[in-house]
Structure 1
Amino acid sequence: MALLWLLLLLALAGPVGGTWDSCRGTCGLRPMAFDHSSVVPEYSQDGDYEPLSSSEGTSQSTGGTGVHPGAWPGVISIQATLENGTWHMCSGALIDPQWVVTVAQCFRGAGDISRWEVVIGATDLSQPGPEAELRHIQTLQVHKYYNPSTARNNIALVQLDQPVECSDYIQLGCVPDSSLAVAELKTCYIAGWRASPESAPGPRLVLQEAKVRLIDVQLCNSSRWYGGAVHPQELCAGYPRGGIDTCQGDSGGPLVCKDNAGDYFWLVGLTSWGKGCAGAKRPGVFTSIQHFHTWIQVQMGLLPPEADVPPPEPFPAPAPEPEAESDSDTSDLEESSAGDSEDYTVISYRHRILGQFLKLLLELLQFLKGEEA
């Protein structure tokens, strides 16, 4: 009977494989969140999206709605204290009581980060509330292969000076390993900070969320979309017609997807880049957390350094093939697969390595043939 109760508790706690935490063995929980299907609209009554206005230079999640305290217990704000005040720099996600994952571009040209702070458990940065906690950065680990010009390996880890305690307002994100079929997750959300229109006398940043769909990366890479600029280590999310997207200031913000079987969420992406905000065929591009699962474990000391194999050298990909013109509405793409709606060309590293091997094998055979002669 005791074993039965233990198994029941583990099932209720959420996923355990491919994750790490010390908050009572749980991650991906959102105890203060409502039923999202009733509070996050995808369309307005006239059948179109509802973009939200925002001032230039502030964070914004176009087409989202405000959230109540505790609805996003794993989201954090990384802030810098400068001569003219303290400013939100980027977002991130808590994945361990003392570790936060975010994007490397947040710290590009940052210099001394000793005065930077991390706010955990808040939904209103002007009034964090008693449930929020403040920490300083103890160490920063930026991916050594991060390329600012291409956003390749756009990921970083921040170690807090002190661990935090989990609560209804502070929870850990679930980092998936390779066993999770991320592309099959159907219910996904983004979150970011934006200036509230009611803010007075100064700017007031509040957390905002929106429902999105994962978009096939091959479709996202087709010539009339991003034309091959999206890396295999990235995800696309949004809608073909646009209208809902992350935008300026949302860097590092989480992309989470509800597990298809359990009542918990997977942290699958971090807001990385995009062309414009909420445009048609220009969805948000996110760093795939799953791709960096081993790297994260190595940086946190959970695996030896040799476990993280360096990535192969990048090579130029050919331009995608031209697409056939279509009179159909772009909304039809939402329910279609990449193969039905776009022409594309994909060359994998595996094929390239195989080609090099065959070339070397042919040279070896020619050499041996010459020796026999």
Structure 2
Amino acid sequence: MTWTMWRPRGDVLPLLLLGGVLASLAIPGSASMTPYNRIVGGTDAVEGEWPWQASLLYTEQGKLYHLCGGSLITSRWVLTAAHCVNKGYSLDKYNVLLGALRLLDLNSNAVFYSLERIIYHSKYTGVTSGGDIAVIKLSSPVTYTKYIKPICLPSTSVTFPPGMECWVTGWGNIYTGVELPSPKTLQKVMTPLIDRATCQEMYHQANKSYTILEDMMCAGYKEGQKSFCQ
């Protein structure tokens, strides 16, 4: 089967709270400066370093497309962004890949799972709305290994103040319009959270303005040397 990298149409706002944050904030444990699926200034991850990292895949005409990242949260559920899973597509077109490091050089640690169900946040209506989050139920339970484990979720009382350093991981573009080169090794980057007011100001443009909602978080640098958007 042929691998292809694909990015959903439409600009993606800073951070879907939890959708991208979980890959880093809940380690036992982020987010962006430009509205695209990418990780800028990242470095290669190593095998088993981020065992909850998931790749959401879509199959079309014999090609396997990497759509978005996600986080394994239990043996049957994966958390991702709602805009990554189109309600009009059949479930059998999707797969979740766990245990992978290099998308173009899979080994025995990587396991594919089909989907049983997708649940969207009730507030989600589009990429500019709130609630851009979804949970995916896998068709069978995951067998935990050194390379596949769930992430530890933060409690509702945990706060994430501006300036807090967070790890972000993914297979997104490394620059605008520049895909992660072969063999597409998982990238990681540490980046600080940005307060909502500052983020809103940075996203205000003459021809387009984004609204940073309560359930969004921003992370990155004003200089742009390291950033993420999921």
Cα separation, partners in 2 of 1:149 and 1:71, compared to 1, 3 Å? closer
1:89-108 correspondence runs (5 A): 89-108=67-86
Check the 8 A contact 2:123/2:129 in 1, yes or no. Answer: no
TM-score, normalising length: structure 1? 0.47
The equivalent of 2:227 in structure 1 is 245
Q: Which has the higher strand share?
A: 2
The answer on 1:115 being equivalent to 2:114 is: no
- Bigger relative contact order (CA 8 A; separation at least 6): 2
The equivalent of 1:72 in structure 2 is 50
Equivalent-residue separation in structure 2 for 1:196 and 1:86 (angstroms) = 16
Equivalent-residue separation in structure 2 for 1:229 and 1:92 (angstroms) = 24
Q: Aligned partner of 1:90: which letter? A: C
The answer on 1:232 being equivalent to 2:214 is: yes
In angstroms, what is the RMSD of aligned CA positions?
2.3
Partner SS state of residue 83, structure 2: helix
Question: What are the Cα deviations for residues 28-68 of structure 1, in whole angstroms up to 9, with x where unaligned?
Answer: 358xxxxxxxxxxxxxxxxxxxxxxxxxx9x6411111111
Q: Aligned partner of 1:160: which letter? A: L
The equivalent of 2:155 in structure 1 is 177
TM-score, normalising length: structure 2? 0.74
Q: Identity percentage over the alignment?
A: 28
Question: What are the Cα deviations for residues 93-112 of structure 1, in whole angstroms up to 9, with x where unaligned?
Answer: 00001100001101235511
Question: What are the Cα deviations for residues 192-239 of structure 1, in whole angstroms up to 9, with x where unaligned?
Answer: 115553x3xxxx3221111100011122123x5446610011100001
Of 210, 216, 220, 2:199 maps to 220
How many positions carry a matched residue from both structures? 189
The equivalent of 2:103 in structure 1 is 125
1:20-169 correspondence runs (5 A): 28-29=27-28, 60-108=38-86, 110-148=88-126, 150-169=128-147
Q: Aligned partner of 2:27: which letter? A: G
Cα separation, partners in 2 of 1:191 and 1:113, compared to 1, 3 Å? same
The answer on 1:186 being equivalent to 2:180 is: no
Check the 8 A contact 1:29/1:171 in 2, yes or no. Answer: no
Cα separation, partners in 2 of 1:184 and 1:242, compared to 1, 3 Å? closer
5+ long unaligned stretches in structure 2: 1-25, 30-35, 173-178
Check the 8 A contact 2:109/2:147 in 1, yes or no. Answer: yes
Equivalent-residue separation in structure 1 for 2:127 and 2:72 (angstroms) = 27
Q: Which has the higher helix share?
A: 1
Check the 8 A contact 1:28/1:171 in 2, yes or no. Answer: no
Partner SS state of residue 217, structure 2: strand
Q: Which has the larger radius of gyration?
A: 1
